[in-house]
Amino acid sequence: MSEVFVIGGGLSGSEAAYQAAELGASVTIYEMRPGKMTEAHKTGLLGELVCSNSLRSDSPESAHGLIKQELEAAGSLIMAAARATSVPAGGCLAVDRNLFAEFITAKIRTHPNIKIVYDEVASLSSFDTKSAVILATGPLTSLTLAEELQKMLGGQSLYFYDAISPIIDAESIDYEKAFFASRYGKGTGDDYLNCPMSAEEYDLFYNSLVNADKVTVRNFEDEKVFEGCMPIEVMAGRGKDTLRFGPLKPVGLIDPRTTLKPYAVIQLRAENIEKTSYNLVGCQTRLKYTEQSHVFRLVPGLEKAEFLRYGSIHRNTYIDSPRHLNKDLTLKSMPHIYIAGQITGVEGYLESTAMGLLAGIYAARKLRGLDETLPSRYTACGSLIEHITGSIAARPSTFQPSNINFGLLPPLSVPVRDKAKKRQAVAARALADWETFVAASNR
């Protein structure tokens, strides 16, 4: 059997290991947890989600809906886990985070071609250059390995700061003030729990938020925050109404107590199937813990909120991919090493999974002596590859992570004015090309 070594047991690493094993490769996956934990992880399970439990929109007309279809068509382990452990979330796909990680861990542990080694890999030099090494350590790569990678690439790693939202105990919520509903009536009707605010209540919340003490990010002078996971206090600092037109928008919601649209609303999404805990949607924060308790308890219905996890901020590392990566995700200087997941400069659970899926396929096929097969630029996964390695990516000096979005995919040859029809056409084109890729990859 061909040997593939996967370093990191997150979404990308787990997907890479599974895909390579499914293609017949003998896979060893290294995970340093639980022996050595990161600043954000809580367990030693593979595929643990450290931020939101949402995998974004499930609509086939959205970019995230499209990439989900591509992943599922390729037999994605992560998507199988998500479908099996989903919780109500309106038009989004959200999961019970514990069941989700347990599903992934069980599939990896029982796969006949995969061995798990719970130990930290501190150096890449010990691996045979005739093997395939997939580095999928994610944005929280250990300091030792990050420093070696930095030396190997001859420059500094890039980074941005990422924030996570608080999680509260469901029993501490005042259900006399909160109500169940999804924006625009999507989902089953009770997928989200809403805490409505009047103008006066919003003013009190907003003023307390912008004046609250924040955690100082130590050791880093240049504080770069990824736009897709902006701390709520940073958004609030852009203007008083920014939140009301962003994560706290009340559009499509009616408060049953008043029969009126709230002035603003904080939505809570269930963290598990039993709905014993809730995540404060869009409330990722770097406020000090005492300040979080004060500020969020100003929200109607959360006056007695018990925090199971406070929000926090951590550094996410990614490499200068336009300069260092080939389109098959191998390092230009060391073609036996593949880089997968968020460390490549993609942002988001699905995007990281996609890079792992491709790296696993590429590595297994190369070791079997098969021809290289790459996804079309017109697919969602192919457009992400192009973003991190191709000409559309920003110059290396200004390269920034990106979620999947329709702006990354090439325009239609014949323009379509209707937005919905245009997205449908782009998605249909992508799926047709993706089907060709999957068939060529022996999937």
- In the beta sheet, which residues pair with residue 161? 225, 315
pLDDT of 312 higher than 90: no
Residue 257 near residue 179, CB atoms below 8 Å: yes
Give the model confidence (pLDDT) of 9-26 as tens digits: 999 999 999 999 999 999
157: nearest Cα among 41, 8, 11, 324: 324
Q: Is there a binding annotation on residue 13? A: yes
| Rounded Cα–Cα distance for residues 366 and 2 (Å) | 9
Give the model confidence (pLDDT) of 328-363 as tens digits: 999 999 999 999 999 998 989 999 999 999 999 999
Question: What structural domains and CATH numbers belong to the chain?
Answer: 3-157+319-440 (3.50.50.60), 164-314 (2.40.30.260)
Among 296-305, 308-317, 346-355, 401-410, the least confident range? 308-317
Q: Is there a binding annotation on residue 185? A: no
pLDDT of amino acid 2: 66
pLDDT category of residue 372 using cuts at 50, 70 and 90: confident
Give the model confidence (pLDDT) of 374-393 as tens digits: 999 999 999 999 999 985 44
pLDDT of amino acid 50: 86
Reported pTM: 0.80
Residue 141 near residue 9, CB atoms below 8 Å: no
Q: Which of left, alpha, beta for 239 (phi over 0: left; psi -120 to 50: alpha)?
A: left
Q: Which of left, alpha, beta for 282 (phi over 0: left; psi -120 to 50: alpha)?
A: left
- In the chain, the amino acid numbered 133 is V
Q: Is there a binding annotation on residue 155? A: no
Q: Is there a binding annotation on residue 390? A: no
Report the DSSP pairing between strands 277-280 and 167-169: antiparallel
pLDDT of amino acid 222: 46
Q: Is there a binding annotation on residue 9? A: yes
More confident residue, 380 or 398: 380
